[in-house]
Amino acid sequence: MEKVIFLDRDGTLNEEVNYLHRKEDLRLLPGVPEALKKLRDAGYKLVVITNQAGVARGYYNEEDVEELHRYMNGLLAEQGGQIDAFFYCPHHPEHGIGRYKKACHCRKPETGMFERAQELFDIDKEASWMIGDKLIDVEAGRRYGVSTALVGTGYGRAERQKAEEDKCAGDGGKLKAAAGNLRQEKCLYDIYAETLNEAADKILRREADGGGASGRWR
């Protein structure tokens, strides 16, 4: 079986740009190629899963997404951090145009893109991770059954604060009661890191220590 790092794209690998689709607007975040190389060298497959509602809204097309991914992977490959597969969701349930307006199974936090990755990789869920800068990334990873990391780049710091204000806390996947009501599991993540590089280091330390997904909110 193969261990996989699933990665959000915007705000996790590259600077957050409103509806990024032009390669000249792509800016990789500091340390990203190095982090990806560490993970590749440790035997992880790298898979990007990204919601691309700009396609649904008609701001750009699927060919633009695919061209950007080829360009991005070229930059990453130059530094040993190439991505093994990209998956994207072009739909939106409310703001889509034509065939792109649908409540699909691929848009995060749904797990359709993970399931598509299963067609390429024999995924070991217990050894795999989802890393992103939004709570929907975390929720998607948890729904699929992998460990999760929230990074502080992009929207990550604000998302972490939001989760803490909601009094969500991890306890082996259990929920904390708030005012007598159980909150949804979507706020929970296994580790927090300020950057992707820090997240990679934490994941590799856990692997070296033989640790699993215990000790959330670190």
How do the pLDDT tens digits run along the chain, 218 residues long? Answer: 999 999 999 999 999 999 999 999 999 999 999 999 999 999 999 999 999 999 999 999 999 999 999 999 999 999 999 999 999 999 999 999 999 999 999 999 999 999 999 999 999 999 999 999 999 999 999 999 999 999 999 999 999 998 887 755 443 333 333 333 333 444 579 999 999 999 999 999 999 998 654 444 34
Amino acid at 188: L
pLDDT of residue 181: 34
Domain count of the chain? 1
- For the record, the structure tokens of 76 come out as 């990453």
Residue-level pLDDT at 165: 77
Residue 218 domain-assigned (yes or no): no
pLDDT at 56: 95
Q: What residues have CB less than 8 Å from 180, skipping those under 6 apart?
A: none
Using DSSP, state whether 134 is helix, strand or coil: coil
pLDDT at 179: 33
Query: Residue 171 and residue 173: Cα distance in Å, rounded?
Result: 5
Phi, psi of 10 (to 5 degrees): -70, 125
- Find out whether 69 and 50 touch, Cβ atoms under 8 Å: no
CA atoms of 126 and 213, how far apart (whole Å): 9
Residue 172 lies in a domain: yes
Q: Is residue 108 part of a domain?
A: yes
Host domain of residue 143:
4-209
- Is residue 137 one of the residues assigned to a domain? yes
Residues catalogued as catalytic = 8, 10
Q: Is residue 140 part of a domain?
A: yes
Residue 214 lies in a domain: no
> 217 lies in a domain?
no
Cα separation of 206 and 35, whole Å? 15
What three-state secondary structure class fits 203? helix
Residue 148 lies in a domain: yes
Cα–Cα dist 146/6, whole Å: 9
pTM of the prediction? 0.88
Q: What CATH number has the domain bearing residue 64?
A: 3.40.50.1000
